[in-house]
Amino acid sequence: MLSFKLRGWNTYTPGLESAESWKDWLLSQYELSTDAVKPELKNIPAMLRRRFTAIGKCSVEAATPLLNENEKIPLVFASRHGDVDLTLSLLKSIANNEPLSPTSFSLAVHNAISGLFSIARKDRCETTAISATENLIPFAVLEAATQLQESKHVLCIICESVLPDLYKPFASSPPFTYAIAMVLSREEGDTFYLNNTHSKKTTLNTKNEFEELISLLLYQSDCAHFPSTKNIEWSIQR
């Protein structure tokens, strides 16, 4: 069992910008309006702002309120598929024998969002970009909590976007693009525990991982469960 403290957290998706709105959504799972105001990233210089796609904008919008002015902090960026729409557009260009956009190619790599965010904040602390087929959230938290051995605080951003229709038969997809940001700390905030146990049954979680985590952060539950197909169940609890 690994313990860590949580200095603060925030989550963002267009249409769900407050804790109360997230509580309402968790209860009723209503469909979000497509007219919801998109993040403007007013604090990001215009030249960089235009390089952030939807998933990157949600990530920045979630993380920025958690950081002190000019704070330098290591970053763990986690996403199962990354900017999958941009990647798919590049694959279609290859299939059609079309030239690739150098800008699109540079922004499609998995650490592009974390790199742009670091450049915008002029923060030269290390960044780590990770992915996982399942249990993305506990693996992201594990990476960030482990880095507390070297740093007092670590920023962890977990984000995902809706998969294009082409991929939906082959992988689970969240109902909307979202980002969850957390600042893990050695000394500040409430204490949480990350644990993994062997299970006799092979199970899959019927909930989205982010629903489990948000329910925990909003005090709707005392423990977030992340079962897998490998007879191991991860959990985060207070």
**Domains within the chain, CATH numbers bracketed:** 2-237 (3.40.47.10)
**pLDDT number for residue 203:** 52
Compute the distance between CA of residue 21 and CA of residue 79 in angstroms, rounded to an integer.
23
Identify whether the C-beta of residue 238 lies closer than 8 Å to the C-beta of residue 192: yes
* β-bridge partners, 12: 179
In sequence order, the 6+-apart residues with CB closer than 8 A to the CB of 199 are: 227, 231, 232, 233
Query: Strand 153-160 and strand 75-78: pairing?
Result: parallel
**CA 51/CA 60 separation, integer angstroms:** 12
Give the per-residue pLDDT at 84: 92
Distance, in Å, from the CA atom of 85 to the CA atom of 163, rounded to the nearest integer, reads 8
Nearest Cα to Cα of residue 162 among 152, 151, 149, 171: 171
**How far, in Å, CA of 148 to CA of 197, rounded?**
23
Classified as helix, coil or strand, 64 is helix
Do residues 131 and 110 lie in contact, with contact meaning Cβ atoms separated by under 8 Å? yes
pLDDT at 10: 95
What is the predicted pLDDT for the residue at 200?
61
Segment-wise mean pLDDT, segments of 10 residues, the chain, 238 residues:
95 88 90 76 85 92 92 96 92 94 90 94 94 91 96 97 91 90 96 86 64 94 86 88
Listed residue (4, 9, 11, 238) closest to 142, CA to CA? 4
The pLDDT score that the predictor gives to residue 4 is 97
What is the per-residue pLDDT for 76?
A: 98
